[in-house]
């Protein structure tokens, strides 16, 4: 049979996308269910489902419920038809996850990042990626791609233009990783990745307007409006860690003074706790757990600053939820009362009415899961446009 051309090919792509989305959202379901859900006729659905079965993305399972007559065959999405790698490049760590095509974590790896030199960091990234790829079971599509979240500003070509806390400028990260792995790579700001992670798999599921605040050594924010990531004119939105909150404040690595992250980040907390002899978040949280009053007071003071910045965000965006994620989400128990009090004090009551402050349901995994989601969604986009092929990179 001749391949359909022109308009027909376009219609087929659209219909394939519709059928695949129906399976992804509603499986297990029958061909008849798909026809009802999508309005496509049964013959078209059968033909497209057969294509997806041949592509090994959909499988048939036992019989479903029937209202009488022959029981229908049910269809499932085959989530192990391929895998993706997500990476969260932090200021002092690299976290990686291997996920299946549904985004379920299959394997994880984490290591400390001791130097920020791009050459060294990329070697460390590659080791982490190779290790995770090695953990993928053999599958029809193998590892379909890699997503990376980085603590900085990323352009459309996946170059890191500026990452103040890594001291990176103009690092062509996507090009380098694609060249070395032979896989499609997506790079985004880690707060955008974290926002996507929480939106797809965490506390932001089903929430239309969500602001994700990533509080680690710095602060970044990922803005989701009407369920879509808001990236701004050039993809640079969300640098709210550099919101000015002290008019004559401390100098920041970005060139400004008095930036929010200098007062409300993990780095700010550790700086304040250094005179007490604490050098890292783990020992600090253990002291808080043990009821050390001075430590609890310091965490609450950081929470007060966090709340001040969140109040500004709430007044601007009027979101349904603000989700606090990344490493400082571990201090939720001691941060929450101070954050809530500051937000109550500093926002307009109209904005507060429907707004909730939550902590990341995925804990420290928001960014790594969101980064992996980028790779998965890019794969699905290729499937829907008929460009994917099996086994190209099969492991």
Min dist CB 152 to Zn ion, Å, is 12
CB 266 to Zn ion: min, Å: 15
25 SS3 class: helix
Angle between helices 6-26 and 366-384 (to 10 degrees): 140
Q: Report the residue number, 219 or 300, with the smaller CB distance to Zn ion.
A: 219
Query: What is the three-state SS of 289-335?
Result: HCCCHHHHHHHHHHHHHHHHHHHHHHHHHCCCEEEEECHHHHHHHHH
Taking the least distance from each CB to Zn ion, the nearer of 246 and 361 is 246
Which CB sits closer to Zn ion, 109 or 242? 242
Considering beta carbons, is residue 102 or 250 the nearer one to Zn ion?
Answer: 250
| Shortest Å, Cβ 257 to Zn ion | 8
Whichever of 77 and 168 has its CB closer to Zn ion, that residue is: 168
In angstroms, give the least distance from the CB of 329 to Zn ion: 22
- Angle at which helix 266-273 crosses helix 293-317, to 10 degrees, equals 150
Q: How far is the CB of 368 from Zn ion (least distance, A)?
A: 25
Q: 175 or 246, CB closer to Zn ion? A: 246
Chain centre distance of CA 249: 32
Q: Which is nearer to Zn ion, 205 or 250 (CB)?
A: 250
Q: Which is nearer to Zn ion, 242 or 369 (CB)?
A: 242
Question: CB of residue 270 vs Zn ion: minimum separation in angstroms?
Answer: 17
Closer CB to Zn ion, 107 or 254, in the complex: 254
Which residue's CB is nearer to Zn ion, number 253 or number 336?
Answer: 253
How many beta carbons lie within 10 A of that of residue 143, not counting itself? Answer: 24
* 369 close to 99: Cβ distance less than 8 angstroms: yes
Phi–psi pair at 15, nearest 5 degrees = -65, -40
Residues 6+ apart with CB under 8 A from 314: 211, 322, 343, 347, 351, 352, 355
Q: Please, what is the minimum distance in Å from the beta carbon of residue 267 to Zn ion?
A: 12
CB of 253 to Zn ion, least distance (A): 6
Cα(208)–Cα(227) distance, integer angstroms:
5
At 185, is the secondary structure helix, strand, or coil? strand
Residue nearer to Zn ion on the CB measure, 20 or 252: 252
Q: How far is the CB of 305 from Zn ion (least distance, A)?
A: 14
Q: How far is the CB of 169 from Zn ion (least distance, A)?
A: 15
Q: Among candidates 334, 124, 300, 156, which has minimal Cα distance to 234?
A: 156
Please name the residues in contact with 145: beta carbons below 8 A apart, sequence gap of 6 or more: 84, 85, 183, 184, 185, 186, 374, 375, 376, 378, 379
Q: Interhelix angle for 118-133 vs 173-181, to 10°?
A: 40
Site for Zn ion, rule CB under 5 A: 242, 252, 254, 256, 259
DSSP one-letter string for 28-89 = SEEHHHHHHHH---HHHHHHHHHHHHHTTSEEEEEE---SSSSPPEEEEE-GGG-EEEEEEE
Write down the least CB distance from residue 260 to Zn ion, Å.
Answer: 8
Report strand pairing: 29-30 vs 58-63.
unpaired
- Give whole-number Cα distances, 94 to 185, 361, 364, in Å: 16, 20, 12
List all residues 6 or more positions away from 235 whose beta carbon is below 8 Å from its beta carbon. Answer: 154, 155, 156
Q: Quick one: DSSP state of residue 364? A: G
């Amino acid at each position: 049979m001749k391949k359909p051309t022109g308009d027909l090919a376009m219609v087929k792509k659209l219909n394939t996308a519709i059928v695949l989305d129906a399976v992804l959202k509603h499986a297990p379901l029958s061909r008849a269910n798909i026809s009802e859900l999508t309005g496509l006729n049964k013959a078209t659905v059968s033909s497209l489902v057969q294509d997806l079965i041949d592509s090994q993305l959909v499988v048939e399972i036992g019989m479903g419920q029937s209202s009488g007559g022959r029981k229908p065959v049910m269809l499932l999405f085959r989530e192990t038809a391929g895998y993706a790698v997500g990476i969260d490049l932090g200021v002092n760590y690299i976290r990686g996850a291997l996920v299946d095509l549904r985004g379920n974590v299959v394997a994880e790896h984490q290591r400390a990042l001791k130097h920020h030199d791009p050459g060294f960091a990329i070697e460390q990234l590659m080791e982490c990626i190779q290790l995770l790829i090695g953990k993928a079971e053999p599958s029809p599509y193998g590892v379909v791609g890699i997503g990376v979240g980085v603590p900085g500003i990323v352009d459309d070509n996946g170059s890191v233009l500026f990452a103040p806390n890594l001291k990176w400028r103009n690092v062509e990260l996507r090009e380098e990783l694609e060249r070395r792995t032979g896989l499609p790579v997506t790079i985004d700001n880690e707060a955008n990745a974290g926002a996507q992670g929480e939106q797809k798999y965490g506390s932001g599921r089903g929430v239309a307007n969500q602001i994700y605040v990533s509080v680690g050594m710095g602060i970044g924010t990922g803005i989701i409006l009407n369920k879509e990531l808001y990236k701004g004119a050039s993809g640079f939105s969300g640098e709210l860690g550099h919101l000015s909150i002290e008019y004559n404040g401390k100098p920041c690595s970005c060139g400004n003074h008095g930036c929010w992250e200098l007062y409300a980040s993990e780095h700010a907390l550790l700086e304040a706790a250094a005179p007490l002899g604490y050098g890292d978040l783990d020992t600090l949280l253990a002291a808080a757990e043990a009821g050390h009053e001075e430590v609890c007071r310091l965490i609450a003071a950081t929470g007060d600053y966090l709340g001040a910045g969140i109040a500004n965000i709430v007044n601007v965006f009027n979101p349904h939820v603000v989700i606090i994620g990344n490493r400082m989400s571990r201090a939720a128990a001691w941060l929450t009362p101070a954050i809530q009090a500051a937000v109550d004090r500093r926002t307009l009551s109209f904005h507060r009415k429907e707004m909730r402050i939550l902590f990341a349901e995925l804990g420290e995994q928001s960014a790594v899961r969101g980064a992996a989601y980028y790779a998965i969604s890019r794969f699905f986009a290729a499937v829907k446009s008929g460009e994917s092929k099996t086994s190209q990179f099969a492991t």
